[in-house]
Structure 1
């Protein structure tokens, strides 16, 4: 419980003889932590509330029900005598309680609240949503998470349909009517969903553009087919950031349809950040070739010429060669972060180190690049500065599972076109890579160590080049 950013200890500030805060060990994990628990020392008296009400108008934010801080032990006694309007200026409410304590939220709802975060665990809590929009008419930011197995979609969707000036919505899911409602709001600028309705009307929502103010859209682990259908609803959305992750084995044809839907849903000039992540448990029994992402599919998003961040994760890889990479580099001249990641590589990459010339030539702002490439043969760096493109922004190169034989040759080539490159990472970057791991991942660890040798050589080679340039520019003396 706090006023502004100040976190006040309730029993010390207001009634030291009434409350005590005890610490309890949390033995749920290997590292023990301390959790506070508030206990009543005596019966609550009327005079206690006068003390609280004096400071209550200063409280702008209330958080309860988290693992670290909870008022649960006080609710039975508080609910009997809690005065109305305890915190008349409350603006932010975080309420993360189980179903047994969830209903006590009614004591703290105020018309001044603009941001609310709820963790509801069952349909037993859903009755709150029928009155929430009325009790808190100024809501701008609403976040609802569901920790149980019951679907809250009907109650949450009905609640959302009553919001008129909301700016941010984060909920597990919404039905078709709620999606139609928020698509017309001129205030909504951020939307976060975890799933989409399996069946949507095939006809467009509106003749005009949808989501006229939406700037950020995040879809966590939805199914790709209803998500593609939802994007087919959208038109002319001025989106700046779109992030999603599919926790399923997505076929290349599904990705193609998905990227086509993105291309028609969002304004081409507005989108600057696009992230399409993905993963699944394994691909046993599946033909890896059906999951490959092709250049033809990626071309569908070439229309977003202002992209500064692009992340695409393929389950098995990309069908790209050096010429295809050159197309990518020319398509996004403003790109800063480009990630073409692979979860389960099935084929050696067709892209070679030479493709990096395209990024040096066409992407002057590129700082982080993730791409799998065949580095077993390194091209000789062109020593003529008049024909060699040198890019001074790239600092991090993630090479995934790229094959490599001679670290010195690769490092010499890389330092010649990316003199600021200092960080080279592989898929084994955050693993132990010890003897025990070598039994199962020996080849990957060997490649990791070779690329780490490249990383070690880069600053040495850059220093040699800098020294050579200084000597070449120095006046000659006999």
Structure 2
């Protein structure tokens, strides 16, 4: 054997190279990699420990642990469990698992515990329902007996068919656990009774966590209970750095934002009733002058039906947010006045120098309850210049992605001011979420000159412009220096004339823009007019002859 392979650090690097981190929540190791590591472990004594460390480091079930017991002590069986998937609802499924068939002697635990000592990442899933219940009989929580997995650093609890209190099997004051993911906890979809006092005692065990991810599926449950569960589970996370949790009560949210350790806070929710206790009706009493912790750099408020007045109140619960990244999204189409209040809260509550990434917008929903009259859509739901310009106070923005139900009703002056306010942009997206008709752009394509001159780092641009009457290259400034970083531009549902002139104009402003793959228009147009046959007698109900002409004119731009 080469002398280098006798160095433990080199051997460890070789073994870990075979099993790089997976992108999945549990970081599982593929079967073929497991076979390679097992073969290495059997090759020679020098390789055994290192290969086994990697092989056992990430486990997606308790089944291998149970199978380390004597063969007569366990059996494989098909377990029927109830799934409460958010998309599918309640469903009975059958999973393969193992169970103990006789009492286990103390000495028989020696082998499985030796392998369990190597586990760092552990996923507990449906198939572990019976093993967990049986192991609790041998390793009761709170006893002096050591826990079976004393060195796990990351635990994902992805089963709701057991009490969350059973997670104590993997917790102890001396454990290495730093990352905990609870997903999904379907409190309302099972008959299990939840003791909030017991959950509060359990939450004490979370004090040393650095990452905590809690997803409670709230459909079918009392929403006040949902709020209490989320708030209870985060009571003692005083050292957490990353936290993802459902909608909390206001005191809990304020407590979290003051934690000096917290860097990343994501508050998500599904359907939020408007009479939720502590949040409605909005009052000025929620506005606070208290500073949040300077360590909090990212805040995400994301929900299927999270109204913007809640997002506004969350921001107004403190002042002087030192955020670098703010992300707010929901599926609720809200009128311009609500968006204006939200933009105002963003501009007055967040420190102007710190914000680098801003994503605010409405995500399209197919729900029938969201149908809006097209005339009302454009009149009340398009973001105007006054609303957008409230955000021009952030000079260090690099990424801006704003989405509105009816797009943006901007004037040329506002777009020009945008280019001087956000000179550090690398990505800008001002789009419609395609509920129906959106505001037809009035800003002409000549404003692209301002982007080229002022936004020198811009790489991606998505904005609706009127590309009719764009000035020819010959009329552009002679002293102009081309912008060379823009690689992609999308114009939305944009009117156009003289496509060849447009092509030359774009090439002059942005010479590195790929005209074949980097230029696009409305996806809705592509679906509606891309396969349109003039000889066909079947004309779509929302067919627009002028739009169809514009769509095909855009197809000529790449060849221009």
TM bin, normalised by shorter chain, reads 0.7 to 0.9
Residue of structure 2 in register with 1:426 after alignment: 521
Residue of structure 1 in register with 2:302 after alignment: 220
Shift, 1:63, TM fit = 0.7
Q: Distance in 2 between matches of 1:299 and 1:220?
A: 23
Q: Distance in 2 between matches of 1:14 and 1:450?
A: 68
Residue of structure 1 in register with 2:185 after alignment: 120
Structure 1: where are the runs of 5+ without partners? 462-478
Q: Secondary structure at the match of 2:200?
A: helix
Residue of structure 2 in register with 1:467 after alignment: none
Q: Is the 8 A contact 1:190 1:214 kept in 2?
A: yes
Q: CA RMSD in A?
A: 3.3
Shift, 1:435, TM fit = 5.5
Q: Is the 8 A contact 2:203 2:235 kept in 1?
A: no
Between 1:416-425 and 1:244-253, the stretch displaced more is 244-253
- Does residue 1:298 correspond to 2:368, yes or no? no
Q: Secondary structure at the match of 1:408?
A: helix
Q: CA deviation digits over 1:140-162, x for unaligned, max 9? A: 22111112432321132133233
Q: Distance in 2 between matches of 1:133 and 1:52?
A: 29
Q: Distance in 2 between matches of 1:263 and 1:292?
A: 20
Q: Is the 8 A contact 1:272 1:307 kept in 2?
A: yes
Number of residue pairs the alignment of both structures matches: 448
Q: Distance in 1 between matches of 2:420 and 2:426?
A: 13
Change (3 A) 1:204 1:441: closer
- Does residue 1:235 correspond to 2:313, yes or no? no
Change (3 A) 1:35 1:306: farther
Q: Is the 8 A contact 1:238 1:266 kept in 2?
A: yes
- Does residue 1:210 correspond to 2:297, yes or no? no
Q: CA deviation digits over 1:426-454, x for unaligned, max 9? A: 23188594469974665567655543442
Q: Distance in 2 between matches of 1:4 and 1:179?
A: 39
- Does residue 1:109 correspond to 2:198, yes or no? no
Shift, 1:383, TM fit = 7.1
Q: Distance in 2 between matches of 1:257 and 1:384?
A: 39
Q: Distance in 2 between matches of 1:374 and 1:192?
A: 38
Q: Is the 8 A contact 1:401 1:427 kept in 2?
A: yes
- Normalising by structure 2, we get a TM-score of 0.72
Q: Distance in 2 between matches of 1:177 and 1:58?
A: 40
Q: Secondary structure at the match of 2:473?
A: coil
Change (3 A) 1:285 1:295: closer
Residue of structure 2 in register with 1:53 after alignment: 113
Shift, 1:86, TM fit = 0.5
Q: Distance in 2 between matches of 1:158 and 1:304?
A: 36
Aligned counterpart in structure 2 of residue 182 of structure 1, from 256, 261, 265: 256
Aligned counterpart in structure 2 of residue 358 of structure 1, from 440, 450, 454: 450
Q: Distance in 1 between matches of 2:289 and 2:439?
A: 45
Structure 2: where are the runs of 5+ without partners? 1-25, 29-52, 140-144, 273-277
- Does residue 1:86 correspond to 2:176, yes or no? no
Q: Distance in 2 between matches of 1:231 and 1:54?
A: 49
Shift, 1:120, TM fit = 1.3
Q: Is the 8 A contact 1:345 1:401 kept in 2?
A: no
Q: Distance in 2 between matches of 1:142 and 1:294?
A: 39
Shift, 1:292, TM fit = 2.0
Residue of structure 2 in register with 1:269 after alignment: 353
Residue of structure 2 in register with 1:282 after alignment: 371
Residue of structure 2 in register with 1:328 after alignment: 418
- Normalising by structure 1, we get a TM-score of 0.83
Q: Distance in 2 between matches of 1:286 and 1:62?
A: 53
Q: Secondary structure at the match of 2:416?
A: helix
Aligned counterpart in structure 1 of residue 338 of structure 2, from 242, 254, 265: 254
Q: Is the 8 A contact 2:117 2:150 kept in 1?
A: yes
Where does 1:105-184 land on structure 2 (aligned, <5 Å)?
Answer: 105-111=167-173, 112=175, 113-118=177-182, 119-122=184-187, 124-125=193-194, 127=196, 129-149=199-219, 150=221, 151=223, 152-184=226-258
Between 1:13-22 and 1:323-332, the stretch displaced more is 13-22
Q: Distance in 1 between matches of 2:199 and 2:466?
A: 56
Q: Is the 8 A contact 2:129 2:161 kept in 1?
A: no
Q: Is the 8 A contact 1:305 1:331 kept in 2?
A: yes
Q: CA deviation digits over 1:345-382, x for unaligned, max 9? A: 43421011111001001000000001111123332013
Q: Is the 8 A contact 1:72 1:101 kept in 2?
A: no
Shift, 1:218, TM fit = 0.4
